[in-house]
Homo-oligomer: A and B are copies of this chain.
C-alpha cells in the first residue's frame, strides 16, 4: 500500500470515528427532548426573513394537514404574493387587518382601534382548539406603539389550547413576550440589496 493510500484510509477512519462520537452526543440530546406541545415562536430583529420564515412554517404545517390562521396587524395591502398563494387554501384563514404603517396613516387613534379589532380576532383563535397554527404577523408593533399592553396579551397566549402553535413576527419584541415564548430568533441584517439601490422586487419582498 502506498503511503498516500494509507493516509487516505487513516483520514477516512478518523472522519468516521469523529462522526460516530458526534452522532452519539446528538442522539442523546434528541432522546432527552421528549415533551410534545404547541410552541410559541417569535421572529424578531431588524433583518429580513421574520415574516417569510413564518410563512415557510405555514407551508410546512399545511403539508402536515394542519388548520391554520394568519392575521396581518400592520399590512393593509392585499396584493402580496403570500396572500395570493395561501388565501385560497381551504385550511387557511387569512386576515389583513392593518391600516398601513404609522407614517402612512398619521392617525394614532385610528391605528389603535385597528390594532384592537385585530387582537379581538387573534384572541378568538387563541381560544379555538381547531386552530393548530396561528401566525400574528407584525404583532410586536401593537405593543411598541402602546395600542395593546403586555398585561392583557400575555395571559391569552399562555391559556391557549395545549397543542396550538403560535408565531409572532415584528421588530423589537419586548422582554415580557420573549419570556412567554419557547423559541426566539433574532434576524439581523448583514447586507441589504435595497441599500445598494435595488427596488423591492415582487416575489422576494412582497
Task: Name A's B-contacting residues (CB within 8 A).
Answer: 11-12, 15-16, 19-20, 22-23, 26, 30, 32-39, 41, 43-45, 47-49, 51-64, 66, 80-86, 102-109, 132-133, 165, 178, 181-194, 196-204, 206
Contacts and interface: CB of A to CB of B under 8 A. Distances in A.
Contact of A190 (B35, B86, B186): B186
Contact of A188 (B15, B63, B188): B188
B106 A20 contact: yes
B61 A15 contact: no
Given A56-B59, A102-B19, A133-B203, A49 B187 contact: yes
Given A33-B198, A35-B197, A63-B81, 16 more contacts: A19-B103, A36-B198, A36-B199, A37-B201, A41-B204, A43-B49, A48-B53, A48-B185, A52-B53, A55-B59, A56-B57, A56-B59, A60-B82, A184-B191, A185-B189, A186-B188
A82 to B, nearest CB: 5
B198 A182 contact: yes
28 contacts: A15-B108, A19-B103, A19-B105, A33-B200, A34-B197, A39-B204, A52-B52, A54-B56, A55-B59, A55-B60, A56-B57, A57-B203, A59-B59, A61-B81, A61-B203, A61-B204, A63-B85, A64-B202, A64-B203, A165-B204, A178-B191, A181-B191, A182-B191, A182-B192, A183-B194, A184-B192, A185-B190, A187-B187
